[in-house]
A and B are shown apart, each in its own frame.
Chain A
Amino acid sequence: MNAMIRWLHGVTSPRTFYALAGRWQPWLWALAILLLGAGAVWALLFAPADYQQGDSFRILYVHVPAAILAQSCFVLMAVAGAIFLIWRIKLADMVATVIAPFGAAMTGVALFSGSVWGVPTWGTWWVWDARLTSMLIQLFLYLGVIALRGAFASRDGGARAASLLTLVGVINIPIIKYSVDWWNTLHQPATFTLTDRPAMPAEMWLPLAVMVLGFYAYFVALTLTRTRSEILRREGRKRWVLELGS
């Protein structure tokens, strides 16, 4: 236990994290490119078409990973926000700062790809059902967190306000997840559940699994790279950073 705390304490120092992330990031970028490339080719060329939707169902190979990432990012932001508020660890706030725009982008991709899928499938771009509306609220929460952080003159004030909003906004995550079970919605219920086998054959969900892992690898790689930039931006006057440049 003590050894773990000591290790955690070391990693959360920006200087150590900068070096560690620098060593990990090439591998994660390579993994992301590999998984996304293989997943895209598999999903678009080799997975069978759906019996009802034909080829338009392939949109889910982007839609589902984007929606999963949009929600994972928010939960991670909330965890980072809590760590920052309770333990005052600056690195947690740096990570939360760089995740927010990525999460907002993923939410936008999920909403847009869902709309494009909705036109041939449902016959409409948009309905105000519980799933679509709660996902739109999620996008506004992301934008609110980003705006709130920037609205403060002091970095610490902005970080605290943004962390609090994230922790309140995390309530929306279970609402998005269970909206299709709690209410009548146009959006269909989950195809994948923990308790039941998927309502989709393996030849269709295996490429989806590769795409989801690829999106996660891309997310981790991007977060490492962007957190390193954020560290340099914030710690620019520290001696160890100045020594990097010399």
Chain B
Amino acid sequence: MTPARRRRLGVLLALVVLAAVAAGLLGYALRSNINLFFSPSQVAAGEAPVGRQIRAGGMVETGSVARDADSLAVTFTVTDFQASLEVAYQGILPDLFREGQGVVVVGRLADDGVLQADQVLAKHDENYMPPEVADALAAAGKSPADYRRTE
């Protein structure tokens, strides 16, 4: 490599390293703002503001979904297996909404600690499988989330 080329290579490497450091610092400074949602533990710890619009995410607790018989009102609990958060919602739920499924809920925390939701989004996990495989997993007493760990 000629000296001129070596110098240009050095300048380019320095440029890329500097840009990476800048991006890294930016991401570090904004780390809590880049997160899409608060986890139920964060809400329980008082990290989420009350009365302002927030997003909270977690798993819909099994057996917690209660639908009102005469309206679209529904209540359920979202958990991260350390803390849970009660959610009240009125409206149409996405097709993938079910117990044991991840969701992201947009709404306001009321003073009584219940999240009054304006929107419920279903979170899809990284597992894909045909229905027969899901049935076989269920018959073996496992959840589809165990797919990677089973043969």
Task: Give chain A's interface residues, CB within 8 Å of chain B.
Answer: 48-53, 57, 60, 82, 85-87, 120-124, 127-130, 164, 167-168, 170-172, 175, 182-186, 188-191, 196-197, 199-201, 203-204
Contacts and interface: CB of A to CB of B under 8 A. Distances in A.
Contact of B16 (A50, A124, A167, A201): A167
A52 B96 CA distance: 7
A51 B130 contact: yes
A50 B134 CA distance: 9
B36 A129 contact: yes
B31 to A, nearest CB: 7
Interface residues of B, number: 43
12 contacts: A51-B144, A121-B124, A123-B95, A123-B120, A167-B12, A168-B16, A171-B16, A175-B23, A183-B31, A184-B36, A201-B128, A204-B129
Contacts of B127: 191, 199-200
Given A82-B12, A85-B12, A122 B123 contact: yes
Interface of B: 5, 8-9, 12, 15-16, 19-20, 23, 27, 31, 34-37, 39, 57, 93-97, 104, 119-135, 144, 147-148
Given A86-B9, A122-B124, A130-B36, A49 B20 contact: no
A49 B36 contact: no
B42 to A, nearest CB: 10
A121 B135 CA distance: 20
B11 to A, nearest CB: 9
B131 A51 contact: yes
B130 A50 contact: yes
Interface centre among B9, B15, B130 (most CB of A within 10 A): B130
